[in-house]
Every structure is written in C-alpha cells, then in structure tokens.
Amino acid sequence: MDCFFSTRGRARRTMLMATVGIALFAASGLAAAAEYPEKPIKIIVAYPAGGATDVIARLIGARLGERLKQAVVVENRPGASGMIGSDFVAKSPADGYTLIYTAADTHSLNPHVFTKIAYDAKREFTPVALSGYNPFALIVKTALPVTHVAQFVALAKERPGQLTFASWGIGSSAHVGMEMFKENAKIDLLHVPFQGAAPAITAVMGAQIDAMMVPLTLAEPNHRAGKVRIIAVATPRRSAGAPDVSTLIEQAVPLTIAPWQGFLAPANLPTAIVALLNREINAVLSDPQVREQLLKSGLEVTTDTPQEFKNFLDAEYERWGKTIRQAKIKIEAP
C-alpha cells in the first residue's frame, strides 16, 4: 500500500513538473512572438531572380515588411528544380526569420519525381500562408481543327499516340498536369519536353507541337494575337485573367490544374509566430491593389488559415503523387 501511494505521489509530481514545463514553454513561445520580429526576415525563392515566383515574392514581401515594420529581404537560391533553396530552408532555424516562398513543384511534385531528395516536404516544413494558385490553360496550335475540349479529346482518340504536347521539362507541373488530363480523358498523347516554357510555347505557335498546358499569363496574349488557341482554363472557376474562357469543369472534365504558391517555414515554428505571419500575409493579400498586381503576375489570390493550408498541402501531395506514380515519371538523382 505504501508503495502504491509512493508511486502515485511520484506520478503526481512528474505530472506537475510536466505541466509546469509545458506552461513555461508556451510562455516562452508567446514572449518570443511578442518580440518578433526583432531583425530582418529572409524569404528564400528557390528560382532565379526575375521569374514569376520571384516577382510575386518581392511584391508580397515588401508589403509584409511595411506591416511588420521590419525589413523583409528576398534571397534567390535557384537550382535542382527548386530543391537547393527548399533544402536550405528545411535546415534553417525555426525562428521565423527564414521562410520560403515556393510553388507546387518543390513540395507536391519533386518528392515523387526524383529518386533522391535532400528534404522531407511533409515533415521538415511548417505551412504558414497560402497565397493563391497559377491559372493554367489548355492551348492548341491554331492549325488543329478544334475549338473546345470535347473536339480535342475526340481527335486524340482517332489518332492515339499521334498528337503531341509540350512541357518545360520532365516532371514539371506542365508535364504532370497534362498527364492528369490524359488520365481523366482516357486519351494517349506524346510528351515532348523542352528546356523552359518559352521554347515550349514557341513550338506550339510554330505548329511543331499540337498542345500544351501552360500558365494563363503566357497563353492569353498569344491567344489574342492569334498565335495559339485556348480551348479551356484548368482553374476551379473562370479566371479573372480570361473570364470569357470556360473551365475544364464546365466542359465536363472534372479536373483542376492550378499549381499553388505560398509561404513555408522550417518545421516546429512556434504557433504564435505562425499565426502572426499568417494574419499579416493574409492582410497584404486582401489589399485590392495587391491582388490586381498579383493577377497580372499570374497569381489568383486564395487565402487560408495555417491548418487549412496544411490540409490542402497534404491533399495536393497525394493528388500530384498519384498521377506521377501512374505515369511512371521518374528522374534519377544526380
């Protein structure tokens, strides 16, 4: 009996110490958040300066710095399909002073495409704030006798494996997005990868390639100029960038191909700092002028709470991964 009470007493003391420890930890986290940010915040962009992702990160970062009354600096760490910058952030301190502004390719696609990857996309990052998605459009060469999706699908079924589609590389969102479309429509197309989006869309304009899934910002001006034909946008709803163009969903293809963009931090970032950053980034994104500028840069704004963003990332990881596995897309690690 004495042993029982002695054991129970030790258990109570252990529980009390644990409760005190948790309280002290929470208090220290809140204190850190109250003082945050005390120094400049660095936003890593895993792509070259001047690209669409970089331009968007700098626009949001400048406005975020104004709200936080602290410098926000964008640093480019390109290379290896965005994996160099992503790995840098994964290995950085979880103190709120190093974030990454990135896109679906680095966290929803690369983990499934590459045989070896230095970071764990699901476990080594804290979702902070979703900024939106890139509207993609399905384009065809003007010589192809189709004006909507049903005609394109019918033609592809008449010529299995003969129609071609371009992308800016094996395992890219343009490649995997078209594989999603192929799978949904039950058609067979031949993939022709290029080194970059510009030469890929140029090949469609030159009638060397039949089709492509491409960002709307590249497709729309060439559509207006009569150089390509947009037959659908692959967005959840009609895009503000091309309101007259119907979606895949409206054309009886229940599919969206709109790669996300957003802010992530190293794993275990204190929840108080996550909440603060999410609130301030969402405030920036709610500004109508910012939204208009972002749309011109190819981003349709959508905001979430950190938990909603995490749930979304988990779903996107599985959705893109399923197509990559079914299409047997693999790149051997260098």
pLDDT average, residue stretch 290-300: 93
Share of the chain above pLDDT 90, in %: 86
Tell me, what's the pLDDT at 31? 53
First-to-last alpha carbon distance for the chain, in angstroms, is: 65
CB 281 within 8 A of CB 110: no
Residue 13 has pLDDT above 60, yes or no: no
Distance (Å, rounded) from C-alpha 285 to C-alpha 292?
Answer: 10
Do the domains 36-134+259-326 and 136-233 sit in the same CATH topology, yes or no? Answer: yes
Residue 21 has pLDDT above 90, yes or no: no
- Give residue 3's pLDDT band: very low, low, confident or very high (50, 70, 90): very low
pLDDT average, residue stretch 98-119: 96
- Give residue 138's pLDDT band: very low, low, confident or very high (50, 70, 90): very high
pLDDT average, residue stretch 294-307: 94
Tell me, what's the pLDDT at 5? 33
Distance (Å, rounded) from C-alpha 215 to C-alpha 247?
Answer: 14
* Statement: 136-233 belongs to CATH 3.40.50.620: no
Residue 144 has pLDDT above 50, yes or no: yes
Distance (Å, rounded) from C-alpha 170 to C-alpha 242?
Answer: 28
**36-134+259-326 CATH pick, 3.20.20.140, 3.40.190.150, 1.20.1050.10, 3.30.70.100:** 3.40.190.150
Report in angstroms the alpha-carbon separations of 292 from 94, 107, 285, 286.
32, 26, 10, 10
Q: What angle do CA 258, 217, 127 make, to 5 degrees?
A: 40
Residue 19 has pLDDT above 50, yes or no: no
Q: pLDDT tens digits, residue range 233-289?
A: 999 999 988 899 999 999 999 999 999 999 999 999 999 999 999 999 999 999 999
Tell me, what's the pLDDT at 240? 87
Tell me, what's the pLDDT at 241? 86
Q: pLDDT tens digits, residue range 88-97?
A: 999 999 999 9
- Give residue 30's pLDDT band: very low, low, confident or very high (50, 70, 90): low
The token pair that represents 262 in the structure block: 């957003």
Tell me, what's the pLDDT at 36? 96
pTM more than 0.85: yes
Residue 12 has pLDDT above 80, yes or no: no
Share of the chain above pLDDT 70, in %: 89
Tell me, what's the pLDDT at 333? 65
Residue 27 has pLDDT above 90, yes or no: no
Tell me, what's the pLDDT at 332? 86
Report in angstroms the alpha-carbon separations of 207 from 7, 137, 210, 250.
81, 17, 7, 27
Domain range annotation of the chain: 36-134+259-326, 136-233
Distance (Å, rounded) from C-alpha 286 to C-alpha 295?
Answer: 13
Of 206, 207, 213, the residue nearest 176 (C-alpha): 213
